Amino acid sequence: MTEPVRAIVDAVTRVIDSPGRAVPLHEPRFAGREWEYVKDCLDTGWVSSVGAYVDRFERDLAEMTGADHAVATVNGTAALHLCLIAAGVRPGDEVIVPALSFVATANAVAYCHAQPHFADIQPDTLGLDPDKLANHLAAVTERRDGRLVNRETGNPITAIVVMHAFGHPADMDGLIAVAADFGLPLIEDAAESLGSTYKGRHCGALAPLAALSFNGNKTVTTGGGGAVLVRDAETAARIKHLSTTAKVPHRWEYVHDAVAFNYRMPNINAALGCAQLEQLPGFLDAKRRLAKAYANAFAEVTAAEFVAAPPDCESNYWLNAILVDGAVPGLRDDVLTVLNDAGVMARPAWALLNTLPAFTGSPRMTDLTIAEDVGRRLINLPSSAALGEI
Ligand SMILES: *Cc1c(COP(=O)(O)O)cnc(C)c1O
């Protein structure tokens, strides 16, 4: 093992106390009233898409994040799809998306028969770079009939999706300003950032529309699930309508006033979610304690830096991340090999979205150098709340 590899692996194993056993990347924790609430669903027969836990979960989410309304969905991708529809994204449009994200961000755009238009990220927040985006939009677009049109493709650009990577808030002041300057709706992909705050306000409540995810590997899980957070009551009602097959409320008639979706979260999943949300403050404490331990362990390591929360932000540290020294050939893969051989599930960043077969033809900034550099150097470390508990 070379010296840089040893230094990084030692730092990780100082934090994770028993490297002999398999350590998952992110494990759910069911230490609250999960059994009680799920049993209640089974006992009462309310397991499906109508039930008291769905309403309660939505109220709890809105209260916890400071969002005006929440609409629970089957997963985060569905929530993002509904956000894009609500923002007015139409077939043939382009939507600005960070090149570094989980595939769901781009998939949701494709579900609208629109195209993701990939933009670069900042090295510190790992989210969209507002200055670079403003320069890019100024260079490649023009106004036609009140719409912002990509001059190279002739397609309208109709929204921006910002993603808070691994729980670290993106530069929202900058992005809100760019969105306003170019007249574009801003949507938060807050799938990874439940409990993170930007200048004291919760991620997911910083833009008029946001998507959350409660997949099994997220900070809070409902098995599978998601939610839309939305400011405006009318839009919230429309999103809920679209998530429930556009059924017109009636005591017995089945009338649906549009082609819509079966995207509503089932009650049994929401029951799990209610119990999980009660534990969120504890999860956040534990995850931030773990992040501090990693930060301390890496303070003296020159071959890698710990990715700390940006200034004025609190991260939920959904997945802790380090950036290894790019000057050492093969360092990232050597570290991944040693850690995974020892049962420590460290993972690289996602392959950049612009490199995936479905999206190689999609429009993009020519300069994606930061996303490419971060993509080559980033390693996510085991981040389960249980690892930070004392
Ligand atoms: C998890 C995640 C989603 C949504 O995923 P689902 O599995 O559909 O709940 C969307 N975007 C990002 C960035 C994610 O990490």
Of 103, 188, 215, the residue with max ligand 1 atoms within 8 A of its CB, to mutate for a pocket test, comes to 215
Of 189, 212, 353, the residue with max ligand 1 atoms within 8 A of its CB, to mutate for a pocket test, comes to 189
Tens-level pLDDT at each residue, the chain (390 residues): 999 999 999 999 999 976 568 999 999 999 999 999 999 999 998 888 778 999 999 999 999 999 999 999 999 999 999 999 999 999 999 999 999 999 999 999 999 999 999 999 999 999 999 999 999 999 999 999 999 999 999 999 999 999 999 999 999 999 999 999 999 999 999 999 999 999 999 999 999 999 999 999 999 999 999 999 999 999 999 999 999 999 999 999 999 999 999 999 999 999 999 999 999 999 999 999 999 999 999 999 999 999 999 999 999 999 999 999 999 999 999 999 999 999 999 999 999 999 999 999 999 999 999 999 999 999 999 999 999 987
Residue whose CA lies nearest to ligand 1 atom number 6: 76
What amino acid is encoded at 82 in this protein? L
Q: State in Å: Cα 122 to ligand 1 middle.
A: 21
Q: State in Å: Cα 381 to ligand 1 middle.
A: 18
In ligand 1, which atom is closest to the CA atom of 163? Answer: 13
For 97, the token pair is: 């998306």
Cα-Cα-Cα-Cα dihedral sign, residues 386, 223, 22, 328: negative
d(CA 145, CA 151): 14
Interacting residues of 280 by C-beta distance below 8 A, sequence separation 6+: 64, 194, 195, 219, 220
CATH class of the structural domain 3-29+280-388: alpha beta
For 119, the token pair is: 């933009």
Q: Taking Cα atoms as reference points, which of 289, 271, 277, 270 lies closest to residue 219? A: 277
* Paired strand residues for 149: 142, 156
d(CA 111, CA 263): 14
DSSP for residue 164: -
For 371, the token pair is: 């996303």
What amino acid is encoded at 53 in this protein? Y
Domain ranges of the chain: 3-29+280-388, 34-278
CATH class of the structural domain 34-278: alpha beta
pTM over 0.85? The answer is yes
For 183, the token pair is: 């007249």
